[in-house]
C-alpha cells in the first residue's frame, strides 16, 4: 500500500484567524493526505513536538497577525533540532512579498499568500515531500 502523506496544519502564535488553516486542512484531506490540525495558539515548541509525535512529513503553518517573521523561523529551527531533517515546512497567510525571501532563507520551503488555490498547495506538497 502506498504510504499516505502526513501533514500537520498548525496555527502558531496568538492569531485566531483559522478560516484559511481549516480550509487548507480539509482540502489536503480531500486530496488524500492524512491531516492533523493543532488548533489555535500553539507555541513553536508545541508545534515541533506535535510534528515529532505525529511523525508527519509536512508542517503547514498559517499566520495572519504579522508575527510570521518571528514565529516561522523559530518553528523551523526547533523542528530541525529534533532531527526532522526531511520534514517539509511551508507557510501561508497575510504575508507581504518583501518578507518572503527572508522566510525562505530561514527554511520555509514555500509561502502561500491570499488568493492561492488549495490545489497549488497540494501540488507543491506532492512535488516536494520526502517520504
Least distance between another protein and beta carbon 52 (Å): 20
Task: Select from 34, 52, 54, 118 the one that contacts another protein (CB under 8 A).
Answer: 118
Least distance between another protein and beta carbon 2 (Å): 22
- In the range 51-70, which residues lie near another protein by CB under 8 A? 65-67, 69-70
Residue 46 contacts another protein per CB under 8 A: no
Nearest to 60 by CA among 51, 4, 94, 52: 51
CB nearer to another protein: pick between 81 and 86? 81
CB 72, CB 105: distance < 8 Å: no
CB 66, CB 14: distance < 8 Å: no
What are φ and ψ of residue 9, in 5° steps? -95, 125
Least distance between another protein and beta carbon 106 (Å): 13
- Tell me whether residue 99 is exposed, middle or buried, using C-beta atoms within 10 angstroms of its C-beta: 0 to 12, 13 to 18, 19 or more: middle
Least distance between another protein and beta carbon 118 (Å): 7
- In the range 76-95, which residues lie near another protein by CB under 8 A? 94
Amino acid at each position: 500500500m502506498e504510504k499516505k502523506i502526513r501533514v500537520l496544519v498548525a496555527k502558531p502564535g496568538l492569531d485566531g484567524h483559522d478560516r484559511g488553516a481549516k480550509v487548507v486542512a480539509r482540502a489536503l484531506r480531500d486530496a488524500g493526505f492524512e491531516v492533523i490540525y493543532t488548533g489555535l495558539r500553539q507555541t513553536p515548541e508545541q508545534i515541533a513536538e506535535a510534528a515529532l509525535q505525529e511523525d508527519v512529513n509536512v508542517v503547514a503553518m498559517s499566520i495572519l497577525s504579522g508575527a510570521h517573521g518571528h514565529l516561522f523561523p523559530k518553528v523551523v529551527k526547533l523542528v530541525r533540532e529534533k532531527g526532522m531533517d526531511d520534514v517539509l515546512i511551508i507557510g501561508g497567510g497575510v504575508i507581504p512579498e518583501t518578507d518572503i525571501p527572508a522566510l525562505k532563507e530561514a527554511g520555509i520551503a514555500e509561502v502561500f499568500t491570499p488568493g492561492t488555490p488549495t490545489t497549488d498547495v497540494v501540488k507543491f506538497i506532492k512535488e516536494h515531500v520526502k517520504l
